[in-house]
Amino acid sequence: MAERKQGTMDRREVVADLIKGRGDALIVTGLGSTCYDFGTQDHPNTYYLWGGMGAAAMLGLGLALAQPSRRVVVVTGDGEMLMGFGAFATIGAKAPKNLSLVVIDNEHYSETGMQPTHIGRGVSLEGVAKACSFPSAQTIYSKDELAKAVPEIFGGKGLSFHDIKVSTKRYPMSIRLRDGAHIKNRFRENLLGAKAFD
């Protein structure tokens, strides 16, 4: 097995770089920490999944298929992706060119008390993505690698997967938007205009 490196990047700094590069991409966040990370700079093109563990990537797939002219970027946690493993296979099989899947990988379930996930025991999400036919799959450990990845994530022309290794630093679990119906309606109206309510 290849030597394993620890994640050292700060998740909020990583997400700040993702937010800088977001352009007009539609972003789906996973539950828990990624939801709070993106909540630091709220945007109507962000769909916060809140508590639906395992669903972020599939929501992103549906959005990417429904909106083929828009870049859709899912940003979620390693625990969330481990719960929704089948999503890798379905996305790999459908291979939408406008979808990017990004994991903020602290190798732990942060929100519930920082229990270690399977990732620290030799499970590679990059390996899973490659085995599921993702044409591009990469693990990122440094700011330099991240700077190169951001244009592919938001401006790439194909399906991609990026596993971004971060430290286990925890941040306050807060976000101003808590009402799921409001989050959904705001996102749809921003995307579809008046048609959102037809």
Ligand X SMILES: Cc1ncc(C[n+]2csc(CCOP(=O)(O)OP(=O)(O)O)c2C)c(N)n1
> Which chain residues interact with ligand X by CB under 6 A?
30-34, 51, 53, 77-80, 104, 106, 108-112, 117
Within a 13 Å sphere around the CA of 44, how many CA atoms are in the beta-carbon half?
10
For residue 127, report the phi and psi dihedrals to the nearest 5 degrees: -60, -40
State which of positions 106-125 bind Mg ion (CB under 5 A).
Answer: 106
Assess contact for 165 and 140: CB atoms under 8 A: yes
The closest of 89, 25, 18 to 63, measured between CA atoms, is 25
Residue where the block lists tokens 């990017």 = 100
Choice between 110 and 160, CB closer to ligand X: 110
111 binds, among Mg ion, ligand X, none (CB under 5 to 8 A by kind): ligand X
Asked whether the CA dihedral 166, 170, 172, 178 is positive or negative, the reply is positive
Q: Is 160 in the site for Mg ion (CB under 5 A)?
A: no
Q: Is 139 in the site for Mg ion (CB under 5 A)?
A: no
151 binds, among Mg ion, ligand X, none (CB under 5 to 8 A by kind): none
Choice between 45 and 167, CB closer to ligand X: 167
For binding to Mg ion (CB under 5 A), which residues are involved? Answer: 77-79, 106
